[in-house]
Structure 1
Amino acid sequence: METPSRYRDGPVRTTLVAIGLAAFGILASQFTTLPAIALEPALATSPTDASLVSRTALLILNFLGFVLAGALYLAATGRGWSYVDLRWPTKRGWLYVLAGVLGSFVFYILVSLVVQVLSLPSADNQVATYIGNDQTMVLIMIGIVFFFNAPAEEFLFRNIVQKRLYAAFGRLTAVVVASAIFALIHIMSYAVLSDSLLATLVPVVVVFGGSIIFGLLYAKTDNLVVPIGAHAAFNAIQFGLLYLALEYDLETADPSTSLLVDLAAIVPL
């Protein structure tokens, strides 16, 4: 799907608009989570001490902030909901979903091996502070990634940010720029739990690589359901692995399980 001529723009302005959209998404997510924090202040100071219901509500509201930001942009620019590339995938589309999941696993396995071999530090995502070692919360996260996380992030960063970049760049360049923006907005969520710049940059690079994969799926299909499906399935499998790691205490088990633990630990929400 080509970008309509009335939406075409220069590369600098288009990139600034894309960055602004991403920043607005983060701001909106901070706003939408306020009701949950107001009802249970422990979410802001000691998340794992908060109730399961409030933690679930906060994470859902966080991702709904991205939807709110995208919806306001569509309304403000007159693009409307017809701008959203949402339809049931063809058989070829589902093959792209499968390819995206498999490609993501290959990428993350390679990253896990590099992290192990080089003994690189890696900070946790801020979302991990709401999960802790709570196995029930890990299972709840599987539902959240399918119904809130993947749809919200792909809607804003693929159908809004990446598609907006089509106005000034070729599709491959747009994928790279959108992925760089997506990775950069994750810096703070890793930095607050990091004790070094390297520990912050490692997961940010991982997020960038994963975003490239999902961005290519959207660029190839012009169908938002395809990257949503791949993103949700991949993260759900990761949370499933994390659940197994907690259930069977794999982190302290035989060293042969360490790759599974590392793969489960790197969840780029």
Structure 2
Amino acid sequence: MEQRQSVESLSTRKIIREFLAGAGIAVLGFLVGIIGVFLMAGGMYLYGVNIFDNVIALFAAEIIGLQVIGFGGVALAYLWYTKESLIQIEIPSLRHIAWIVIGLVSLFVALIFVSAVELVIGVDAAEHGIQQTATGNPEILLLFIPITLFIIGPAEELLFRGIIQRRLVDRLSLGYGILFASIIFAVAHAGALIASSTSGFVFMMGVYVVLGAILGITYEITKNIVVPIVIHGIFNALQAAGMYFALTNDEMAEFMTLLGLS
């Protein structure tokens, strides 16, 4: 494994090369994930299930194909192929649990701040595709809660923090590693966003960079991938729960929106 260099000694060519290498790993995860989705869709079709006629089947194909086969599979394959010990895993200690709480609070503070900025500047921020799906099928959010805790959180954090960020930190610097991994993380979510304007899309991409940076910082402080995995999973789960209550209880919708939970 290459030794981390001082920022001053890094050449522009090396910085660009390592950033593109990190982005390439993410792209590979997507390509494998797309193949996984098609395989899942084909398997379901053989059993008489058309994913385009069944929102739950489509959701399952996307989650298993993209998250498990794509992100999780590429992360594990990278570790097997390179023999690098990038991912640091420990049973959370009290210190780690404290950082999980700090990370969650930081994410929600950032989300509340973003909601306030959105209102002040009048930008119509992009929404995640699941918000549109859930509008007509709120019960899918109840399914999303365990999925994000046990599949999405682990798969995305293994790839974006465990592999891509640690690789960038080792080869460049702590700052570059967190920044570049957060940018790649944000771009990875671009396809899931539904925006009514370019400004709303760009605004939401910036939000994802900030959220990714918070997750990245907690990983570098604790040196334990379990910490951002738990933070990511709980954060998404609470948002899904908040969205469900907002969609099924009109009187709570405004309050949930203010808290950034819908």
Preserved contact between residue 55 and residue 130 of structure 1 (Cα < 8 Å) = no
Task: Give me the identity figure in percent.
Answer: 28
Report the count of equivalent residues.
250
| Structure 2 counterpart of 1:72, from 51, 73, 77 | 77
Q: For structure 1, which runs of at least 5 residues remain unmatched after alignment? A: none
| Structure 2 counterpart of 1:94, from 97, 111, 114 | 97
Cα shift readout 1:25-61 (whole Å, capped 9, x = no counterpart): 1112211111333335864xx5xx5142442343233
TM alignment of 1:17-96, pairs within 5 A: 17-38=21-42, 39=44, 43=51, 49-64=53-68, 65-79=70-84, 82-96=85-99
How far, CA to CA, are the matches of 1:236 and 1:159 in structure 2? 21
Structure 1 residues 256 and 236, CA gap change in structure 2 (3 angstroms): closer
How far, CA to CA, are the matches of 1:235 and 1:203 in structure 2? 16
Cross-structure match for 2:17:
13
Give the counterpart letter for 1:84 in structure 2: I
Cα shift readout 1:203-259 (whole Å, capped 9, x = no counterpart): 2111111001000011111100000111111111111111110110248x6x56642
Pairwise CA distance, 1:97: 0.4
How far, CA to CA, are the matches of 2:109 and 2:242 in structure 1? 15
Structure 1 residues 155 and 17, CA gap change in structure 2 (3 angstroms): same
Cross-structure match for 1:179:
182
Deviates further, 156-165 or 125-134: 125-134
TM-score by length of 1: 0.84
Preserved contact between residue 66 and residue 153 of structure 1 (Cα < 8 Å) = yes
Cross-structure match for 2:166:
163
Preserved contact between residue 165 and residue 174 of structure 1 (Cα < 8 Å) = yes
Cross-structure match for 2:258:
259
| Structure 2 counterpart of 1:121, from 115, 120, 124 | 124
Deviates further, 167-176 or 216-225: 167-176
Cross-structure match for 1:194:
195
Give the counterpart letter for 1:70 in structure 2: A
Preserved contact between residue 100 and residue 231 of structure 2 (Cα < 8 Å) = yes
Pairwise CA distance, 1:12: 2.9
How far, CA to CA, are the matches of 1:18 and 1:118 in structure 2? 34
Structure 1 residues 66 and 129, CA gap change in structure 2 (3 angstroms): farther
Structure 1 residues 74 and 150, CA gap change in structure 2 (3 angstroms): same
How far, CA to CA, are the matches of 1:184 and 1:209 in structure 2? 12
Pairwise CA distance, 1:185: 2.5
How far, CA to CA, are the matches of 1:194 and 1:228 in structure 2? 27
Preserved contact between residue 180 and residue 208 of structure 1 (Cα < 8 Å) = yes
Preserved contact between residue 124 and residue 196 of structure 2 (Cα < 8 Å) = no
Give the counterpart letter for 1:77 in structure 2: T
Preserved contact between residue 70 and residue 160 of structure 1 (Cα < 8 Å) = yes
Structure 1 residues 25 and 158, CA gap change in structure 2 (3 angstroms): same
Aligned-pair RMSD on alpha carbons?
A: 2.4
Structure 1 residues 6 and 37, CA gap change in structure 2 (3 angstroms): same
How far, CA to CA, are the matches of 1:70 and 1:62 in structure 2? 12
Cα shift readout 1:176-214 (whole Å, capped 9, x = no counterpart): 111011112222332xx3332112112211111100100
Give the counterpart letter for 1:73 in structure 2: Y
How far, CA to CA, are the matches of 1:185 and 1:152 in structure 2? 13
Structure 1 residues 168 and 140, CA gap change in structure 2 (3 angstroms): same
How far, CA to CA, are the matches of 2:133 and 2:40 in structure 1? 13
